[in-house]
Amino acid sequence: MSDILLRVNDLCVSFTTRNEEFEAVRGVSFELKKGEVLGIVGESGSGKSVTARSIMRLLPSPPSYLKRGIIEFQGQDLSLKTEKEMEAIRGKEIGMIFQDPMTSLNPTIRIGKQISESLIKHAGISKGEAKQEAIKLLSRVGIKNSETRYHQYPHEFSGGMRQRVMIAIALACKPSLLIADEPTTALDVTIQAQILELMKDMKKQLDTSIILITHDLGVVAGMCDRVVVMKEGKIVESGKTIDIFENPQHAYTKKLLNALPRLDKKKKPKRPPHVKTGVDSTMPLLQVNSLSKHFENGNGVLTKAVDDISFHILPGETLGLVGESGSGKSTTGRSILRLSEPSAGEILYQGIAVDRLTLKEMKMMRRHMQIIFQDPYSSLNPRFKVADIIGQALDIHKLSKSKTERRERVEELLELVGLEPSHAMRYPHEFSGGQRQRIGIARALAVEPDFIVCDEPLSALDVSIQTQIVELLEDLQYRLGLSYLFIAHDLSMVKHISDRVAVMYAGKIVELAESEELYNNPLHPYTKSLLSAIPIPDPRVEANKQRWREEDRVSTDRYHVRNSKLVEVTAGHWVAQVAE
């Protein structure tokens, strides 16, 4: 009996538009063995997700269609199946975890019912039995109080919890094949580690084969037996994970591997920035003292999003601000710029009390303090051309005397961030994600600021584009003497761009140190948990980390004393300070 579960041969998928046909997947072939984890990697637009959806027969038709190819699952060609026959296979034989759990879950249906539906349809059990099985599944994927959670709606769950629900749905009928399409892209590093650990456990318990689609090579190193590298709809390289990482053959694979920052590698020396004339580089450009921001819900209960934090940033310095979603990072950045009014504390910019300025004075202060937003698409007006998106800041602050001067300044800014002057007459939807982020940077630079809040500017980008944006920010800092508050949850990238790093947890800064010092000698248990959760793009390192986790779970109790503090251990990570 063959041990090949899935065989894809010469798969070609096209999309038709009004004027032309675009081939998204071109001649893709690969095999997946029973109990194996296959990673499909590549940048956005490489054809990864289209390949996965073709296996599930979930592509929209039209505009897409299967041009040719064979998708053989358990000896049956799925490309020849009717829609009714595929409905019997989806969920029961092949499960899928989609990239964005919020858009994949029905917001009007309770979580428990969404899990039960698959069990009732494919397992042929009663509603009562399906409910009990769904509750067990919720517990199995690490959701506490599963009986209560069963009756809740998707919006009542965090991003990580919603992804766990998606896994529960995908695994409900114990499928032979699980397709995970970027299952951890939008998650914090600690939640990502928990989801990957859960998938590993499910693979061991159910002997499930997994296709993992991702652009994170660190995740691939820790999860996959074999790797397929895709570029522009084609497979450019494939092989065992260890061989791909240690001896890549294709130039594109080498580019992907070289683009990913390594947490276990020393950062490159930074060029001293050109601090502006008359500025004392030893005196803080920005001083934040006891900053707090509280939100009140409808019941009058206060939530301390930012709770009594203090730090400073020197001219030409980058301070990294890291932590999980909800830790208060973005609220801190927005409070400094008074895009969200602080509840208490003092914000001094070059000695000026920003928190005491009138709205008119604050408008003038924003010439010196700017922000780059997380999602470049939603922060750019889709109805404006790039010339007006960037030029608007020049108009507000009266920085151009004529239309000609305005146009020349916009073109100069586009060239400064690596775009063409001709791009000024295009709309945001005509650009890639990386190009849109460059437009956002150009807009922030238009008023010639000294300080920029970079609020998760890399989270929506591929790894090679992330590297380009970081190099651009560093080059601009060197040439213009800029200071950055660099907010992110990707600690690998933060290490390489930051001079110092502050770690936030539950609204407080729990640790602040020089970049290398923090990564080499973390003191707080939460910092250690963040660092230990980051996947390293090296299969041998990840294998050693996995062995440590398993040994730790076997040889230790639930609680340990470290640095005279009692901390709880979950999946080998120091995750929560429980008591003194």
Overall pTM > 0.75: yes
* CA-based nearest residue to 115, from 146, 156, 86, 145: 146
To the nearest whole percent, how much of the chain has pLDDT over 70? 92
Residue holding tokens 């006891």?
Answer: 290
User: CA-to-CA distance for 475 and 417, rounded, in angstroms?
Assistant: 10
**Phi, psi dihedral angles at 517 (to 5 degrees):** -65, -45
Q: How far apart are CA 7 and CA 511, in angstroms?
A: 50
Task: For residue 311, list its beta bridge partners.
Answer: 288
Show the low-confidence residues of the chain (pLDDT under 50): 553-580
β-strand 177-181 against 94-97: which pairing, if any? parallel
Nearest to 453 by CA among 286, 268, 260, 578: 286
List, in sequence order, every residue forming a beta bridge with 181; answer none if it has no partner: 213
Sequence-separated (6 or more) residues with CB below 8 Å from residue 337: 366, 369, 370, 371, 453
- Assess contact for 457 and 442: CB atoms under 8 A: no
What's the rounded Cα separation, in Å, for the pair 439 and 414? 7
pLDDT at 77: 92
Using alpha carbons, select from 239, 238, 234 the residue that is nearest to residue 28: 234
Strands (E) across 182-285 are located at: 209-214, 226-231, 234-240
User: Sheet holding 500-505: strands in order across?
Assistant: 369-372, 451-455, 483-488, 318-322, 500-505, 508-514
pLDDT value at residue 551:
57
Report pLDDT for 553.
47
Beta-carbon contacts of 205 under 8 Å, excluding residues fewer than 6 positions away, are none
Instruction: Quote the pLDDT of residue 93.
Output: 92
Of the candidates 170, 17, 165, the residue with the CA atom closest to the CA atom of residue 94: 170
The token duo for 508 is 């407080």
pLDDT given for residue 573 in this prediction: 37
Residue type, 10: D
Burial degree of 520 (CB within 10 A; 0-12, 13-18, 19+): exposed
Q: Within 13 Å, how many C-alpha atoms sit on residue 554's CB side?
A: 6
